[in-house]
């Protein structure tokens, strides 16, 4: 009977009859919380830009924003000063090259 040293309990167990309690956990780095990506509602006290009060709850702060009908945008410049996208310019040489290619394919090339 082959045995192997158990790093969990420090004993030797048969490979065929490994105790269920001695199986290693699959994800050692996981926390014991039921939700690994837990985002709490609390934050360092901040002053609302809307009413000037101090808030330490994200949900209560955003509730005031929602009730006032304003949008929280942070400091993202693409939201504050959106720059419209311009279509890429087409160069005259590219048009000439494309027309020449089409003529060439049709058998009228130079
Ligand atoms: Zn063991």
DSSP-derived secondary structure for 28-95: TTS-SSS-SS---SEEEEEE-TTT--EEEEHHHHHHHHHHHT----TT-HHHHSPPPPPPPP--HHHH
Residue 68 has pLDDT above 90, yes or no: yes
Q: What is the mean pLDDT of residues 92-98?
A: 94
* All structural domains of the chain with their residue ranges: 3-27+40-71
Going from the Cα of 35 to the center of ligand 1, the distance in angstroms, rounded, reads 29
Ligand 1 centre distance from Cα of residue 25 (Å): 13
Mean model confidence pLDDT for the chain: 86
Whether pLDDT at 99 is above 80: yes
**pLDDT for 65 beyond 90:** yes
Does this model's pTM top 0.75?
no
Q: What is the pLDDT of residue 26?
A: 61
Distance 16 CA to ligand 1 centre (A): 13
Q: Give yes or no for residue 29 having a pLDDT over 70.
A: no
């Amino acid at each position: 009977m082959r045995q192997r040293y158990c790093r969990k309990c420090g004993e030797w167990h048969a490979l065929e009859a490994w105790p269920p309690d001695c199986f290693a956990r699959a994800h050692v780095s996981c926390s014991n919380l039921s939700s690994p990506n837990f985002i709490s509602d609390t934050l360092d006290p901040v002053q609302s830009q809307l009413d000037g009060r101090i808030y330490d709850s994200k949900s209560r702060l955003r509730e005031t924003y929602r009730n006032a009908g304003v949008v929280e945008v942070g400091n993202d410049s693409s939201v504050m000063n959106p720059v419209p996208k311009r279509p890429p310019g087409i160069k005259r040489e590219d048009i000439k090259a494309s027309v020449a290619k089409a003529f060439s394919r049709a058998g009228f090339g130079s």
